[in-house]
């Protein structure tokens, strides 16, 4: 069985691990996943991540972050652009998630960026997911 949407798989693994209050979760590695995790770390949604080698190939180990009341730092993680329906936005239509409280992660010509950074640089692109 081949996986048609590795990004959706990564987001689902993170959602499930937070729901079950796991400290960390392992995800098969890719460059795009690495960039998405880098943004989640920079924005304070996860504690840490590292790349490890295993028999199946490279794996990303993600350390999850919890707030003082034992709730996950991520309350909502949604895939927007899917392989069956790609969602692209122009520079003036970059989504504003929860009036700036959340963020959208975009794949742009300038690399993988948050919605705020994409607006600053004046670029649009494919909306990968939203987080809050």
- Which is more confidently placed, 72 or 66? 66
On whether residue 127 sits in a domain, the answer given is yes
Whole-structure pTM over 0.85, yes or no? yes
Number of domains in the chain: 1
Domain holding 44, by residue range, is 6-131
Contact call for residues 96 and 116 (beta carbons, < 8 A): no
The answer to whether residues 7 and 36 touch, using CB atoms and an 8 Å cutoff, is yes
Q: Using CA atoms, how far apart are residues 77 and 57, in angstroms rounded to an integer? A: 26
Output the six-digit token pair for 132.
């809050």
CATH of the domain at 54: 3.30.1490.10
pLDDT (average), residues 23-47: 95
> Is residue 1 situated within a structural domain?
no
In a domain, 125, yes or no: yes
Q: From residue 111, how far is each of 2, 70, 105, 108, 126 by CA, in Å?
A: 27, 33, 11, 5, 11
| 81-111 residue pLDDT tens | 999 999 999 999 999 998 888 999 999 999 9
pLDDT, tens digit (0-9, with 9 covering 90-100), for 50-67: 999 888 789 999 999 998
Does some domain include residue 22? yes
Where does the pLDDT of residue 1 fall: very low under 50, low under 70, confident under 90, or very high at 90 and above? low
Residues 6 or more apart from 12 whose CB is under 8 A from it? none
How confident is the prediction for the chain on average, in pLDDT? 92
């Amino acid at each position: 069985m081949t996986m048609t949407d590795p990004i959706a798989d990564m987001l689902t693994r993170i959602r499930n691990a937070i729901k079950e209050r796991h400290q960390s979760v392992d995800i098969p590695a890719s460059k795009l996943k690495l960039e998405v995790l880098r943004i989640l770390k920079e924005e304070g949604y996860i504690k840490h991540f590292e790349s490890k080698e295993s028999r199946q190939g490279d794996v990303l180990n993600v350390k999850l972050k919890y707030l003082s009341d034992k709730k996950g730092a991520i309350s909502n993680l949604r895939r927007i652009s899917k392989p069956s329906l790609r969602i692209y936005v122009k520079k003036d239509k970059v989504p504003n998630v929860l009036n700036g409280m959340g963020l959208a992660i975009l794949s742009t010509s300038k690399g993988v960026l948050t919605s705020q950074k994409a607006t600053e640089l004046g670029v649009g692109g494919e909306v990968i997911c939203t987080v809050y």
